[in-house]
Structure 1
Amino acid sequence: MSPQEGAELDAWLKGNSRRVGAFARAQAIAVHSERARALGSGFNPAAFEPAPKVTSPDRRRLLWGGAAAAAVAAGVGVSVVATRRPMGLETLRGEVRLAPLADGSVVTINTQTRLTVDYTQVRRTVRLLDGEAFFEVASNPARPFVVDAGDVVVRAIGTAFSVRRIPGEPVQVIVSEGQVEIRRRTGAGRPVAVAANSRAVATETGAAAADTSGLVPNDVRRAMAWREGKIAFEGESLRYAAEAFERYSDTRIVITDPALANQTVTGLFTATDPAGFAQAVAVSFGVQARAGKNEIVLSP
């Protein structure tokens, strides 16, 4: 868009908090419908996915059902869910879900993630049980938006940020817009304010609830690549990359040589295509990629 069009869009979005959710739904449908075109006009998604049972003639429900079918046809595992009451959301391995919430906020949920949404008159609470989610929060100072991730509590009013809670790793928060406050549920340590283009990693002990560091916009885009079904690496080891792909696919990448596993990789890859990643590694490093049952073996 031109700068003028961008300003007009921003003004429109700020005119009503529910427009953020509407705009996100439209973007999701547009992006994944374009991907579905590659399958051709003769593709019939009903042959692969049973049609949902419709219990009421709600036109909006039928429209969103069509959008979900387009996403299934594209093979990208994205769905749209409206939140009306306290509820749980969960994604399977390799699935990314976009969920507009009742207040106009939007949550995008990464692979293998579980969370609950509980709204009251005075507080909006999301409990991230495990996994990763990106929140675009509709501003409402009278009802703070709070994400509980174990012992870490993230509070926002109107902003955009992600929270990552993976077993064996500290909780990580990345803020792309606005500002959030991080504190410990136990009350230990002082709350920490995290501004836009910053990353905060929960500390194990100490006075602060988290250690923060600044990011450039490219760092933020790379960290959020999973929302588009991608994994971005910049200097990570092949061992780390193989573990990252395990969260998205049942096919494991096995690296037989420790020296090869310590080699670093940079690039943008489709999260659900470990075979494509392994082939790219084989070509780049001059190694072999052999496909086995539910695994791909990389070796000298």
Structure 2
Amino acid sequence: MTSADPASSRRDQALDWLLRVQQAPDDIQLRAELAQWCASDVANAEAYGKAERVWRMTAQLTPTSAAQWPLPVTSNAVSLPPAARPTRRRQRWLGAAVAACLLVALAPSLSLRMQADYRTGQGETRDITLADGSVVQMDSDSAIAVQYAGTQRDVRLLAGQAFFKVTPDATRPFHVRADAVQVTVTGTAFNVELRPQQVDVEVEHGSVRVADASQARVLSSALTAGERLRYIDGLVQVRTFQPSQAAAWRKGQLIADDVSIAELIGELERYLPGKVLLRDQSLGSKRVTGVYDLRKPQAALNAVLRPHGGKAENFGPWLLVVSRP
């Protein structure tokens, strides 16, 4: 396992380059650096090319808001054909439009919709009662697929996180699969979270067995109440916590215990509309501890950033850029 999703990281970088070029279209040095980045990997060039194509598409859109977007857009920012060059009147909303279109064009495929039996949108939570009486509480922006057959009770966590209250049945083990990680129980309550190339399992009560099914490797034969397992980069980390804090998101809370700002942004992004782009990696590496209100995700993000001199700026309704002055 790796600590970052290369495709997602490349999409973020392409979007970041596009924003920088729009803000400084006459910066020759910036253009040279962009050319070098594109030349370093054909995938980089393809990602930026897709970003530019979507930018051109925005010239054909009609405005949906008269808000004053903070992104300064200029018609010579990219090489647009004359018919597609934006007029001054459109410059106020075009930044928002490109952000929204980029979000759609650079998003993962629609295969998740086809695989999932149950999904939640951003800011939405949902409780599902399965055929055996087990309950799945789904967090925002999450998806699961369910397969009950014979003696098997199988659930796949496709995105996000979910809390499971499993009806005991020693003859029918309950399995939760998240990426390569498989959690096996007969009756207990636990949370599973799936992030890019990372899986977290925490137990409220009872115990679970955690394994890497792809390597037939047992990660924990008995993860018990008050224990949290994180599997990342092929390493297993087990920490203790208060069982009452398991899946704190169910209470509208995000509890951070010495975690990076980048990690917290990933958590909060589930509750914010659109895309959050972190432009300052040194800011993202800062560690924070605190309890934040998921019912007010924008305020929570500001509370995370403020002590470290960071800020979050809205570039239209679908893009939030995090940086330091």
User: 2:240 corresponds to which letter in structure 1?
Assistant: L
Q: Which structure is larger by alpha-carbon Rg, 1 or 2?
A: 2
Bigger drift between 193-202 and 131-140 goes to: 193-202
1:178 equivalent in alignment to 2:202: no
Alignment correspondent of 1:246: 269
CA 1:259–1:114 in structure 2 vs 1: closer, same or farther (change >3 Å)? closer
1:295 equivalent in alignment to 2:324: no
- Superposition deviation, residue 201 in structure 1: 2.9
- Superposition deviation, residue 258 in structure 1: 5.1
Q: 1:141 aligns to what SS in structure 2?
A: coil
CA 1:229–1:142 in structure 2 vs 1: closer, same or farther (change >3 Å)? same
> What is the aligned-residue identity percentage?
32
User: 1:107 corresponds to which letter in structure 2?
Assistant: V
Match of 1:160 among 165, 181, 189: 189
Q: 1:269 aligns to what SS in structure 2?
A: strand
1:211 equivalent in alignment to 2:236: yes
1:97 equivalent in alignment to 2:133: no
- Deviations for 1:213-265, whole angstroms, at most 9, x for unmatched residues? 24131xx5545121223322232233332232222212555566555444333
Contact 1:198/1:213 (<8 A) preserved: yes
CA 1:221–1:122 in structure 2 vs 1: closer, same or farther (change >3 Å)? same
Alignment correspondent of 2:253: 230
Ranges in structure 1 where 5+ consecutive residues have no aligned partner: 1-86
Q: In 2, Cα distance between the equivalents of 1:120 and 1:108?
A: 22
- Deviations for 1:182-215, whole angstroms, at most 9, x for unmatched residues? 233346334622122112233655xxxx735241
CA 1:103–1:277 in structure 2 vs 1: closer, same or farther (change >3 Å)? same
CA 1:256–1:164 in structure 2 vs 1: closer, same or farther (change >3 Å)? closer
How well do the aligned residues superpose, as a CA RMSD in angstroms? Answer: 2.9
CA 1:131–1:270 in structure 2 vs 1: closer, same or farther (change >3 Å)? same
User: 1:163 corresponds to which letter in structure 2?
Assistant: V
CA 1:121–1:256 in structure 2 vs 1: closer, same or farther (change >3 Å)? closer
- Superposition deviation, residue 150 in structure 1: 3.0
Q: 1:246 aligns to what SS in structure 2?
A: helix
Match of 2:171 among 142, 148, 152: 142
CA 1:172–1:256 in structure 2 vs 1: closer, same or farther (change >3 Å)? closer
Q: In 1, Cα distance between the equivalents of 2:281 and 2:211?
A: 39
1:130 equivalent in alignment to 2:159: yes
User: 1:238 corresponds to which letter in structure 2?
Assistant: I
**Higher relative contact order structure (alpha carbons within 8 Å, sequence separation ≥ 6):** 2
Q: 1:275 aligns to what SS in structure 2?
A: helix
Ranges in structure 2 where 5+ consecutive residues have no aligned partner: 1-115
Q: In 1, Cα distance between the equivalents of 2:155 and 2:130?
A: 11
What is the TM-score with the length of structure 2 in the denominator? 0.55
